[in-house]
Amino acid sequence: MALWIGSLEQGLLFGIMAIGVYLTFRVLSFPDLTVDGSFALGGAVAASLVVAGVSGWAAAAVAALAGAGAGLITGLLHTKGKINGLLSGILTMIALYSVNLRVMGRANVSLLNEKTIKTELEAWAQAAGVDRHVVFGVMFFLLLFAVKLAVDWFLRTDLGTAVRATGDNPAMIRSFGVDTDGTILLGLILSNALVGLSGGLIAQYQGYADVQMGIGMIIVGLASVIIGEVLIGAQTIFRATLAAAAGAVAYRFVIAAALRLNVDPNDLKLLTALIVVVALVVPPILEKRRLQRRLDAEDADAVFGDDRRQAAADRAGAGAGPKAEGRVRPAEKGGEGG
C-alpha cells in the first residue's frame, strides 16, 4: 500500500514536470532535452537553499526561476544562435550537469533533519491530527491543479495563442506580425520553470538532491504526456494539460507495478523507453487500420454491393502497401481495355 501511496504523491509532483514537457513537446512541437538538466538544477538549487536555511516554498520558487533560466539559454541557442533545437537542448543539459555539481558543491545533498516542505506538511498533519498522506495528497493535488489551471489560462490569452500558433504554423503566425523567436523563448522559459519547480519539490519530498536525478526525465515526461493522451485525450486545452498531469501519476503506477512484479530496478529506464516507443508507434498504426477499413467498406459498398464484406476482407488481407496497389492497377486497366 505504501508503494502505491508514494507513487501517487510522486506522480502529482512529477505532473508539474509533465505539463512543462507538454508545453514544449506538444504546444511548441519542440523536443526539448533541457529537461534532464533543468529538473536536476531545480533539485540542486532547492536542496542547497534549504540547507542554507531558506524556507522550502521559497526554495521551490527559486528552483522554478533557475529552470526558467535554463530554458532561456536553450531558447537563445536555438533562436539567436541558430542551433538545431534538439542540439540546443542537449548542450544546455550537458552544461547543467557541471553547473548542478557547482551549485551543490558535491554530487549529493541530503535534506535529512532539514526543514523542508515535507516536514512542514508533516507538522501540520500532526497538529490537525490527520494522516500525513492525506495532507500530502491534498496539497500536492491542489498545487498540480493550480499549475494546470494557470497554464490553461495562459494558453488561452492572446500571447498564449500566439505560442500555440508558433508550434502549429510558424510561417503563418509570422505573417501576422508575431516574432516567433520571442514565442519560442517564452515557451521554453515557462516549460523549464515548471520542470525546475517539479525538481525542487521532488528533492524535498524524497529528502535529497542528486546530480543524477534528472537523467531520463525527458522520457518520463514524454511517457506521461503520451500515456495521458491515450487515457484522457487532448481535444481541448483543458483535457490536454489534465492528460499530462494524470499521465504522470499513471506512469508512476506503471513503475510501481513493475517493481511489484520484481522487475530489476536497473531495467526501469529500459521499460520507460519501451513504453514511450509503443505509445508513439501503435496509435498511428491503429488509426491507419481503422481508416483503411472504413475506406474499404465504402469502396466495397459502392462497387460490389452485397459482396462488400468479402471484398473488404480480401483487400485488408492483401495489405494496403504501394506494392499491392501496383499489382492491382495494371490488371484493372487491362480489363477496361478488353
Smallest gap, in angstroms, from Cβ of residue 171 to another protein?
A: 6
User: Is 287 among the residues that bind another protein (CB under 8 A)?
Assistant: no
Q: Which residue has the cell 529500459?
A: 270
Rule CB under 8 A: choose which of 57, 119, 125, 161 binds another protein.
Answer: 161
Q: Which residue lies nearer to another protein by CB, 176 or 261?
A: 176
Name which of residues 28 to 67 contact another protein (CB under 8 A).
none
Cα dist from 81 to 75, 88, 181, 188, 216, whole Å: 9, 9, 11, 15, 26
What number of chain residues touch another protein (CB under 8 A)?
23
Q: Which residue lies nearer to another protein by CB, 27 or 312?
A: 27
Q: Which residue lies nearer to another protein by CB, 33 or 188?
A: 188
CA 204 from centre of chain:
21
Name which of residues 94 to 133 contact another protein (CB under 8 A).
none
Q: Which residue has the cell 512543462?
A: 20
Q: Exposed, middle or buried: residue 196 (CB in 10 Å: 0-12, 13-18, 19+)?
A: buried
Rule CB under 8 A: choose which of 84, 153, 212, 298 binds another protein.
Answer: 153
Neighbour tally for 59: CB within 10 Å: 27
Lookup: cell for 107: 554530487
Q: Which residue lies nearer to another protein by CB, 68 or 165?
A: 165
Lookup: cell for 133: 498522506
Distance CA 116, CA 63 (A): 14
Q: Which of 119, 4, 98, 103 is nearest to 46 (CA)?
A: 103
User: Is 4 among the residues that bind another protein (CB under 8 A)?
Assistant: no
Q: Which residue lies nearer to another protein by CB, 149 or 257?
A: 149
Name which of residues 166 to 185 contact another protein (CB under 8 A).
168-169, 171-180
Give the bridge partners for 110, in sequence order. Answer: 208
Distance CA 31, CA 187 (A): 12
CA 2 from centre of chain:
25
Stretch that binds another protein, among 97-105, 121-129, 151-159, 330-338 (CB under 8 A): 151-159
Smallest gap, in angstroms, from Cβ of residue 216 to another protein?
A: 29
Stretch that binds another protein, among 132-140, 150-158, 315-323, 330-338 (CB under 8 A): 150-158
- Please report which helix (H) or strand (E) contains residue 209, including its range: strand 208-210
Stretch that binds another protein, among 4-12, 109-117, 160-168, 315-323 (CB under 8 A): 160-168
Stretch that binds another protein, among 9-17, 165-173, 193-201, 291-299 (CB under 8 A): 165-173
- Please report which helix (H) or strand (E) contains residue 233, including its range: none
Smallest gap, in angstroms, from Cβ of residue 186 to another protein?
A: 10
Smallest gap, in angstroms, from Cβ of residue 309 to another protein?
A: 29
Rule CB under 8 A: choose which of 97, 141, 145, 154 binds another protein.
Answer: 154
User: Is 158 among the residues that bind another protein (CB under 8 A)?
Assistant: yes
Cβ atoms 55, 62 nearer than 8 A: no
Distance CA 280, CA 284 (A): 8
Smallest gap, in angstroms, from Cβ of residue 313 to another protein?
A: 30
Distance CA 164, CA 250 (A): 26
Smallest gap, in angstroms, from Cβ of residue 243 to another protein?
A: 15
Residue 320 identity? A
| Residues at the contact surface with another protein, assessed by CB under 8 A | 153-154, 156-162, 164-165, 168-169, 171-180
